[in-house]
Amino acid sequence: MLSIHGYVGAEPELGKPDTGGQVVFVLELAKRFARLGYKVDLVTRRFDRQPEMDRINPNLRVWRIPFGGKGFVRKEDMHGLLRDFVTNFMTEAKRRDLRYDVVNSHYWDAGWAGQRIAEELRIPHVHTPHSLGSWKRKDMKGSREEAERVYRFAERIEKEFLVYRNCDHIIATTEQQCDLLGADYGIPRSQVTMIPPGIDEQRFTPVMPTRLHEIRESLGFTPHDVYCVGRAATNKGIDLLISCLPGLRKLVPDARLKLAIGADSERDRERVQQWQALSRELGVEEAVQWIGYVPDEAMADHYRASGVFALSSRYEPFGMTAIEAMACGTPTVVTTHGGLHEAVDFGTHALYADPKEPGEYATLLAMPMRHERLRERLSVEGARFSRRQFGWTGIARRTLAVFDRYRGIYEVPEEYSESIP
């Protein structure tokens, strides 16, 4: 398994740059593969004095390959460094005489490298995009020139196209991605399987009412608090959520926002300052609390404590945080600019609205707070739906079934093997 960018480890440093839902996705999937009896190397980049290996269990290790210097590198700036990753990995894999059955890559950078590794090893390559450059470019706020300078979309989309055309199969996380792979990249639907992300169904659970009251007391939450967690990235729509707050407080006067926003870079901190300025301009500064980074072990209780969970992204390939919140029994309002809203039954599992329309999104946030029967239905049915549809063991089995379609397809017949160096 290849996941090159960000801080990947046995205990990932969530909230750091390029370290969020994808890292959780890859690590949890790898753990379930290991639990099912498969040996897994989760290969990533080594930097910032990280150890070469993290042994998670007898079947799973995180293996870090050095390239691109000793400091953090944004995923958008990986383009010129990927050849070094392939070379360094292949050199070490051959030195250790390692054998693999399949390469499973995550995101375009790992996909580009994974295709070359798979070709050299003569094994299948199954790729998971997580997000698509064409979609992200369309929905990016601001000037196209600035977006191109920062995100290098042209280079990314070209590499994505080659990965999608050359890999053996693609696992998309939403039906929307399946459609876009066909419309924007010309990929046949037969080459794509949709498998959504999963959750840790043992950790994200509802709690008894007395325990919920204790959690809210300890964290300072009320039933009229809206909780949002994510990186300080433009696509997460934190400014859109703040813009909804005046309308929400007209319907629920004591409503507040609790924002667990990770901001480790100077650019991230500048964004948070801009959002704080927006709250002052709108006259809702006192109703916005900036929680900052929430440790992973405290995440479930923060989901439980809120009255409503908000996924207000401008675009979101899926939205794992929303699934986790639903599993904890918290009524959830998701964005219509992503794939998750297509999977839920509106008014039963969750609610959805357009966060670019402040009045619409504010109204949907208010509904579970104002209507007890709706709140109870969303709490119960949302948790059932989330746990049954998105438990990680089931997701792992579905993914392994895709791998099994391609295992052995590149084996050389014995009568020809002697002529191949």
Distance, CA of 225 to CA of 159 (rounded, Å): 42
In the chain, the amino acid numbered 418 is E
Residue with tokens 């918290």, as numbered in its chain: 330
- Return the beta strands (E) in 161-254 as ranges: 169-172, 192-194, 225-231
Helix (H) or strand (E) holding 176: helix 175-185
DSSP letter string, 203-225:
TS----HHHHHHHHHHHT--TTE
Distance, CA of 18 to CA of 232 (rounded, Å): 11
- What pLDDT does 180 receive? 94
- What pLDDT does 20 receive? 66
Q: What pTM value is reported for the model?
A: 0.66
Distance, CA of 310 to CA of 319 (rounded, Å): 10
- What pLDDT does 372 receive? 97
Please answer whether residues 357 and 336 qualify as being in contact, where contact means their C-beta atoms are separated by less than 8 angstroms: no
DSSP 282: T
DSSP letter string, 328-354:
TT--EEEESSBSHHHHS-BTTTBEEE-
DSSP letter string, 4-68:
-SS--SSS--TTSTT-SHHHHHHHHHHHHHHHTT--EEEEEEE-TT--SEEEEETTEEEEEEE-S
Q: How far is CA 142 from the centre of its chain?
A: 23
**348 burial class (0-12, 13-18, 19+ CB within 10 angstroms)?**
middle
The full length of the chain comes to 421
Q: What is the set of domains in the chain, with CATH numbers?
A: 21-198+394-417 (3.40.50.2000), 209-389 (3.40.50.2000)
DSSP letter string, 349-370:
TBEEE-TTSHHHHHHHHHHHHH
Per-residue pLDDT of the chain (421 residues; tens, 9 = 90+): 999 988 887 776 666 666 667 888 899 999 999 999 999 999 999 998 899 999 999 999 999 999 999 998 988 888 889 999 999 999 999 999 999 999 999 999 999 999 999 999 999 999 999 989 998 888 776 667 777 877 888 999 999 999 999 999 999 988 889 999 999 999 999 999 999 888 888 899 999 999 999 999 999 999 999 999 988 888 899 999 999 999 999 999 999 999 999 877 788 899 999 999 999 999 999 999 999 889 889 999 999 999 999 999 998 877 889 999 999 999 999 999 987 888 899 999 999 999 999 999 999 999 999 999 999 999 999 999 998 888 888 899 999 999 999 988 887 655 544 444 4
Distance, CA of 348 to CA of 384 (rounded, Å): 11
- What pLDDT does 342 receive? 85
Task: Indicate the SS3 state at residue 395.
Answer: helix
Using DSSP bridges, classify how beta strands 53-57 and 192-194 pair: parallel, antiparallel or unpaired.
unpaired
List phi, psi (to 5°) of 400: -60, -35
Task: Indicate the SS3 state at residue 319.
Answer: coil
**194 burial class (0-12, 13-18, 19+ CB within 10 angstroms)?**
middle
Q: What is the pLDDT of residues 147-191, one digit of tens each?
A: 787 788 899 999 999 999 999 999 998 888 999 999 999 999 999
Distance, CA of 274 to CA of 6 (rounded, Å): 25
Token digits for 370? 């104002």
Q: Which of 179, 143, 140, 173 lies closest to 315 in space, CA to CA?
A: 140
- What pLDDT does 291 receive? 93
Distance, CA of 18 to CA of 7 (rounded, Å): 7
Q: Compute CA distances 157 → 18, 108, 152, whole Å.
A: 19, 9, 9
- What pLDDT does 258 receive? 98
Residue with tokens 């239905």, as numbered in its chain: 377
Q: Could you count the other beta carbons within 10 Å of the beta carbon of residue 84? A: 14
Q: What is the pLDDT of residues 278-321, one digit of tens each?
A: 999 999 999 999 998 898 899 999 999 999 999 999 988 778 89
Task: Indicate the SS3 state at residue 195.
Answer: coil
First to last CA, the chain: 26
